[in-house]
């Protein structure tokens, strides 16, 4: 069973940066689209970004375009989300998702002064 484990969350000031990482426990990671989905406190699920298996396509929700970058390293079975110029509204639990079906438990990002 594929398991995804996120890390890198924490408390950061507005305007700051964080890098989230997600690692997979099996080799079935590399053939799939990988995504980041977040849930702000009291809100619903919001897709943030995804990346094609070969890395040739990356897509972002409008609100993070130009601030967040998704990348993958299939040799290490990992996907990352580099977040810059963070805003209070980026505060959320961030989940790593394989294709549509396997979700990590999430890592919490809090943007606050």
Partner 1 sequence: QSVLTQPPSASGTPGQRVTISCSGSASNLGSNYVYWYQHLPGAAPKLLIYQNYRRPSGVPDRFSGSKSGTSASLAISGLQPDDEADYYCAAWDESLSGRQVIFGGGTKLTVL
Residues that bind partner 1 (CB under 8 A): 35, 37, 44-47, 50, 57, 59-62, 95, 100-101, 103-106
Nearer Cβ to partner 1, position 35 or 80?
A: 35
Nearer Cβ to partner 1, position 27 or 45?
A: 45
**Least distance in Å: CB of 110 to partner 1?**
17
Q: Which of 10, 9, 18 is nearest to 86 (CA)?
A: 18
Strand ranges, E, within 1-113: 4-7, 10-12, 18-24, 34-39, 45-51, 58-60, 68-73, 78-83, 92-98, 102-103, 107-111
Nearer Cβ to partner 1, position 1 or 75?
A: 1
d(CA 44, CA 30): 28
**Least distance in Å: CB of 98 to partner 1?**
11
**Least distance in Å: CB of 88 to partner 1?**
20
């Amino acid at each position: 069973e594929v398991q995804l484990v996120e890390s890198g969350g924490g408390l950061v000031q507005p305007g700051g940066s964080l890098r989230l990482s997600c690692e997979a426990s099996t080799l079935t990671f590399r053939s799939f689209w990988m995504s980041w989905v977040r849930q702000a406190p009291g809100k619903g699920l919001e897709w943030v970004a995804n990346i094609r298996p070969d890395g040739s396509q990356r897509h972002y929700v409008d609100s993070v375009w130009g601030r967040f970058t998704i990348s993958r390293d299939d040799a290490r079975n990992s996907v990352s989300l580099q977040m810059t110029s963070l805003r209070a509204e980026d505060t959320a639990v961030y989940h790593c998702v394989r294709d549509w079906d396997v979700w990590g438990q999430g890592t919490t990002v809090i943007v606050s002064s």
